[in-house]
Amino acid sequence: MAPKTCFLFFLALVSFSAVLAFAEEDDPGLVMNFYKETCPQAEDIIKEQVKLLYKRHKNTAFSWLRNIFHDCAVQRCDASLLLDSTRRTLSEKETDRSFGLRNFRYIETIKEAVERECPGVVSCADILVLSARDGIVSLGGPYIPLKTGRRDGRRSRAEVVEQYLPDHNESISSVLDKFGAMGIDTPGVVALLGAHSVGRTHCVKLVHRLYPEVDSALNPEHVPHMLKKCPDSIPDPKAVQYVRNDRGTPMVLDNNYYRNILDNKGLLLVDHQLAHDKRTKPFVKKMAKSQDYFFKEFSRAITILSENNPLTGSKGEIRKQCNLANKIRTTDDEP
């Protein structure tokens, strides 16, 4: 009896191992060039679309960079940011924290180009990540090899955006903690905030440093320009009033940001804290001196961010349109 029991136990163990191995083989997770068999032109199509859009609309590259941050930082990289609001659910892109995000229609342009080549194969989550990668190159930043194989989530998570997404007015400790929960260490956080090297900051995000009194921490030589660009203490949120993050090289992702914040020219509170907190200042100074070091840490941090808790295998779906979840659901929904 005992030998038979042992044999049956052995068979069960072998069967379980086989099932586990099959499941792992069926879900390779994120890998380099995930679409090499199913859509070999996918990454080239996305890269070409990003280049074309950048020639027509320079600000698209800023949008792609912001998208990866706003999507992947909120629990996972699953393109939930791109979903429109429904009667029951508010879209993440319509929350206060997403103020200033735009160009979502051009993500659909990229998706349509990919769909013409390979219908129903490439996820919006991968398009979002790869457009960020190629947008970084358009801005003069490094090329970052990124894995693919993400699938799309089916719902927006607007209700937890504040919980997960670091804010420019939070303490540097809170910012470090939120990024740290994703596996991004202090030099990685300092490098990611180097994305403030490009683009612009809307006046509604910084007038509290100008009114009713000017923040004494600001470089007095920089204040007149900020006041000129933001003349109202309560800006019209519908008006396009903003200050360029970097007046010297506003369209280039470079380490000039770090020299600016060391000179107290950072627009946001988090910029000022980054340059003066004892935990982050050494890395700020190092990146101010070396663009190679900035690019190395930036690439590492973007890679970690892009791999934050993705849906893979049979989880989620491949959306037909990036702004809408597919109507037909399977029982294997994401958690």
Binding site members:
71, 74, 78, 80, 92, 166, 196, 246, 249, 254
Tokens of 256: 């000039």
* Dist CA 126 CA 281 (whole Å): 34
Q: Which residues are annotated as a binding site for substrate?
A: 166
* Cα→Cα distances 265→43, 208, 313, Å: 38, 15, 46
139-144 long-range contacts, Cβ below 8 Å, gap at least 24?
Answer: 139/61, 139/62, 139/65, 139/198, 139/251, 139/252, 139/253, 140/251, 140/252, 140/253, 140/254, 141/253, 141/295, 141/298, 142/295, 142/298, 142/299, 144/299, 144/302, 144/303
- What are 317's strand-pairing partners? 152
- Our CA dihedral for 267, 181, 162, 80, rounded to 10 degrees, sits at 110
> 72 CB contacts (<8 Å, ≥6 apart)?
129, 182, 305, 306, 308
Catalytic entry in 70, 202, 208, 225:
70
Residues 6+ apart with CB under 8 A from 120: 318, 320
70 in active site: yes
The annotated binding site for Ca(2+) is made up of: 71, 74, 78, 80, 92, 246, 249, 254
Which residues are known catalytic residues? 70
